């Protein structure tokens, strides 16, 4: 029961189908990476989970309770949004105060502590903060809020490298101290690759894959060498993309690794999450023999 369950959710904007019968679950006690290209449908789904917009079909359930217009899920979920919905004329410290009144599980002292760590001036009004500090303000609230499900939509937008590191450390500390479900929607895949335990990849309004990060990295690899050797090796494998450098060919493969034939020019290297993401979603956008669609159809396949 402990999960965010997305059941058959469809959302259309005019002729555009932003989400197309999406069904999956965020299980409790994990850090999720919710990945997808711009316009893939990430924000739409997050907004539906957070009751900000309504699905045309389907529904979202949080621990079994419908998420739509339901105060019973108020203490269960929080969504730090990319859009600025806060009262821009209000001071940071007043925002903390009000959030504390709205949520029983909001730790005001912790919020002030985190703000201090980031160097966030709590006497400033929201609109007087720089873009980066506006993000910091929003994630400070999300980090100090001890609800079972927290969604971060582009949490590090405008943050410098130091602040990003700080955020990831704080996030992990929070997670360690109080295990809950954290969902991070981001474009900076490499930065979160080691943090997220499971990946949900969404593309063109459909779930392309949901897989543990570790397994995903294990199944994805790159083989390089002379083009003919590579082609021979790739036969019957799930190739998600290729690159060519003169007579050298690189093929990106998902699935079981087989032994390299003796004495061949082939080399196998790991593929990182970002590369995997780019190859998987890049192809789907081209619309040719799509790896993603193959995945969607063979639901039981590893990748």
Question: Helices (H), strands (E): how many in the chain?
Answer: 10, 14
Q: Which stretch binds other proteins (CB under 8 A): 15-23, 57-65, 170-178, 284-292?
A: 170-178
Chosen residue from 131, 173, 228, 298 binding other proteins by CB under 8 A: 173
Interface residues for other proteins in 187-206 (CB under 8 A)?
Answer: 190, 193-197
Whose Cβ is closer to other proteins: residue 90's or residue 227's? 90
Helix, strand, or coil here: 218? helix
- Options 24, 98, 112, 226; binder of other proteins; rule CB under 8 A: 98
Instruction: Quote the CA–CA distance of 112 and 118 in Å, as a whole number.
Output: 10
Of 112-120, 215-223, 225-233, 284-292, which segment contacts other proteins by CB under 8 A? 215-223
- Determine contact, residues 9/57, Cβ cutoff 8 Å: yes
Residues whose CB is less than 8 angstroms from the CB of residue 263 and which lie 6 or more positions away in sequence, other chains included: none
Tell whether residue 214 is a contact of other proteins (CB under 8 A).
Answer: yes
Of the candidate spans 111-119, 129-137, 186-194, 286-294, the one that interacts with other proteins by CB under 8 A turns out to be 186-194
Give ∠ CA 218-221-227 in degrees, rounded to 5: 160
Q: Is 40 helix (H, G, I), strand (E, B) or coil?
A: coil
CA distance from start to end of the chain:
26
Q: Are 209 and 201 in contact (CB under 8 A)?
A: yes
Give the binding site for other proteins (CB under 8 A).
30-31, 47, 50-54, 69-71, 73-74, 77-79, 81, 83, 85-87, 90, 98-99, 101-103, 165, 168-169, 172-173, 175-176, 190, 193-197, 214, 217-218, 221, 269-270, 272
């Amino acid at each position: 029961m402990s999960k965010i369950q997305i059941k058959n959710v469809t959302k259309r904007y005019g002729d555009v189908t932003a989400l197309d019968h999406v069904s999956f679950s965020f299980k409790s006690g994990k850090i999720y990476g919710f990945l997808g290209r711009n316009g893939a449908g990430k924000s739409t789904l997050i907004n539906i989970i957070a009751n900000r917009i309504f699905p045309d079909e389907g529904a979202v359930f949080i621990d079994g309770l419908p998420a739509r217009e339901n105060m019973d899920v108020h203490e269960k979920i929080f969504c730090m949004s990319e859009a600025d919905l806060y009262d821009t004329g209000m001071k940071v410290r007043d925002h903390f105060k009000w959030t504390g009144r709205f949520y029983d599980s909001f730790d005001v002292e912790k919020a002030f502590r985190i703000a201090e760590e980031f160097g966030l001036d709590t006497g400033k009004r929201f609109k007087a903060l720089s873009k980066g500090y506006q993000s910091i303000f929003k994630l400070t609230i999300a980090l100090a809020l001890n609800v079972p499900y927290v969604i971060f939509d582009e949490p590090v937008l405008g943050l410098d490298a130091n602040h990003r590191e700080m955020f990831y450390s704080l996030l992990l500390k929070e997670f360690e101290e109080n295990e809950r479900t954290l969902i991070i929607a981001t474009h900076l895949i490499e930065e979160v690759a080691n943090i997220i335990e499971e990946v949900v990849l969404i593309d063109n309004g459909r779930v392309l894959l949901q897989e543990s990060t570790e397994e995903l990295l294990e199944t994805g690899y790159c083989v390089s060498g002379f083009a003919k050797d590579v082609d021979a090796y790739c036969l019957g494998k799930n190739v998600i993309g290729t690159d060519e450098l003169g007579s050298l060919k690189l093929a990106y493969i998902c699935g079981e690794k087989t032994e390299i034939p003796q004495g061949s020019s082939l080399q196998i290297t790991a593929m990182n999450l970002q590369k995997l993401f780019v190859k998987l979603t890049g192809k789907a956008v081209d619309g040719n023999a799509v790896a993603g669609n193959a995945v969607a159809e063979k639901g039981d396949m590893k990748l």
